[in-house]
Amino acid sequence: MTSSCWDTLVEKAVSKLDTLNLLRSLRPISVSTTTTHEKDFKTFDGLQSWDRSSVEIQLSESTFQEWLHNVPSSGGNGNMKPESLRKLILFSGNDYLGLSSHPTVRRAAAEAALQHGMGPRGSALICGYTDYHRLLESCLADLKKKEDCLLCPTGFAANMALMVTLGSISSLLAVGKKPLEGEKVAIFSDALNHASIIDGIRLAERQREVEIFVYRHCDMVHLSALLSSCRMDKKVVVSDSLFSMDGDFAPILELVELRKKHGFLLVIDDAHGTLVCGENGGGVAEEYNCENDIDICIGTLSKAAGCHGGFITCSKKWKQLLQSRGRSFIFSTAIPLPIAAAAYAAVIVAKKEKWRRRAIWSRVQDFRVLTQIPIASPIISLVVGSEEKALQASRHLLESGFHVTAIRPPTVPSNSCRLRITLSAAHTTDDVKKLTSALSDSIKFAEIRVKNFDGRAKL
């Protein structure tokens, strides 16, 4: 099935919804009293003092001690006395470009809040969708070189909405009440895809609308074999672009070649690549110059944009279908208006301040040189094995002034516990030097297993 065939399927599904009077519409409420212009957004040529607030944090002494001694906690009593605070350098966040503290982003949120409060609170299909939300959607569609974009309350909701919508195509176009085996959608998913993809597929599977095929992580030979043996017509391949727990990239160009051969719909979750990769921050597809080969691109605004929310970039017909069948979109309150305003400013700033992307990749190079560990991205997965080893290393870093959490089951399999370190454009070379020095006290770099560019474990 070719891309044009998928376009025909989606058009038929949209037409069926229209016939059933189930096609939903987005009608933005106009709330802007001042016009937002990109030229009014102030940008800077390098790190400023405020950038540090995105990587410098504080813990109360009681929280520090609870963490140090691995005491279970539900957040404490919220007492943050100035004289009892511990300052730490954050190496476990997802604010890759440090935009959460950017004055232009903060000002956009503040001005929108002062003018409109938190916005007309409601789901996007009722009253929560404003011209601010529409402006952000248009900006993201342009960033990803797609026709349109659907803004969702979170990245998790975006993946859930798409997976459930994929399944609904089977039901809408089925001859009978329930789709037969040949009418279902076959979804091929990387074994290490994000939980939101997995949960969305499982929900569609429970509705008996899809068949799931899980291929070994980044294994294109296995995926090709599964595709070749599958007799179902409607095939979808979904993969993270940059895997959140291992820090390795999907073999995007090989996926594109398989798409040409098998004619599947290619869906990429670019949560960790958006604004980090590509000359303009367009993500992994821009980095590899294959934007036109990605049918649907999902992303989040809670990572490199430093804000909140998720999005799906796609064709206009896909958007119509998603806004009518994506349950996690339909039944969720839209993101607050000031957040939409801030996210729009963040995307514009990220595109203009290209030095931020250069800075984060320089920190990747710093870490690689200092440790001789062949990391592939700002996500550094140091697999140490047992829970105790991971916790011990995390505690040592804590005592050394670094916030790095141990990742344990069920997030990762048993005996693959790890330190997940993330780099930011707001980090300096000196920060990385101090971190690696502290790491070397509890970890032997030569013995650490990391995920390299090809996704295979290195010893």
Measured CA to CA, the distance from residue 42 to residue 439 in angstroms comes to: 38
- 73 & 187 share domain: no
pLDDT in tens, 265-319: 999 999 999 999 999 999 999 999 999 999 999 999 999 999 999 999 999 999 9
My answer on whether 386 and 371 are in the same domain is yes
Residue 178: predicted pLDDT: 84
Of 302, 325, 352, the domain-final residue: 352
Q: What is the pLDDT of residues 425-442, one digit of tens each?
A: 999 999 999 999 999 998
In a shared domain, residues 16 and 135: yes
Q: Would 211 be classed as within a structural domain?
A: yes
Q: Percentage of the chain surpassing pLDDT 70?
A: 94
| 9-38 exposure pattern, b = at least 16 Cβ within 10 A, e = fewer | bbeebbebbeeeeebbebeebeebeeebee
**Could you tell me the pLDDT band of residue 97, with boundaries at 50, 70 and 90?**
very high
Maximum C-alpha span of the chain: 70
Query: Is the pLDDT at 415 greater than 90, yes or no?
Result: no
Pairing of strands 402-403, 85-90: parallel
161 and 245 belong to one structural domain: yes
Q: Which range is least confidently modeled, 25-39, 189-203, 240-254?
A: 25-39
Residues 346 and 433 in one domain: no
Predicted pLDDT of residue 16: 95
SS3 per residue for 220-254: HHHHHHHHHHCCCCEEEEEEECECCCCCCECCHHH
Q: Quick one: 221 and 210 in the same domain? A: yes
Locate tokens 């006395």: which residue? 81
CA distance 327 to 207: 13
The answer on 55 and 10 residing in a single domain is no
Domain co-membership, 153 together with 138: yes
Tell me, yes or no, whether 282 and 383 share the same domain: no
What residues form DSSP beta bridges with 59?
Answer: 86
pLDDT of residue 40: 80
**278 shares its domain with 229:** yes
Range of the domain at 440: 51-98+354-458
Domain boundary among 332, 352, 372: 352
Please give the average per-residue pLDDT across 168-194, as a whole number.
91
Average pLDDT of the residues in 173-190? 89
352, 382, 404 — which closes off a domain? 352
Res 36: pLDDT? 64
Give residue-wise pLDDT tens across range 51-81.
999 999 999 888 899 888 888 888 766 555 6
pLDDT band at 143 (very low <50, low <70, confident <90, very high): very high
pLDDT confidence of residue 22: 95
Average pLDDT, the chain: 92
Does residue 267 lie in a domain region? yes
Name the token pair of 295. Answer: 């049918």
**315 lies in the same domain as 279:** yes
User: Does residue 181 sit within a domain?
Assistant: yes
Q: What is the DSSP letter of 333?
A: B
445 vs 262, higher pLDDT = 262
Sorting pLDDT into bands at 50, 70 and 90, what band is 208? Answer: confident
User: Are 235 and 334 found together in one domain?
Assistant: yes
Query: How many structural domains are present in the chain?
Result: 2
pTM across the whole model: 0.94
Q: Which two tokens stand for residue 121?
A: 């609170």
CATH code (residue 260): 3.40.640.10
Q: Give yes or no for a contact between 271 and 243, defined as CB atoms under 8 angstroms apart.
A: no
Tell me: pLDDT of 207 over 90. Answer: no
Phi-psi region of 88 (alpha: psi -120 to 50; beta: other; left: phi over 0): beta
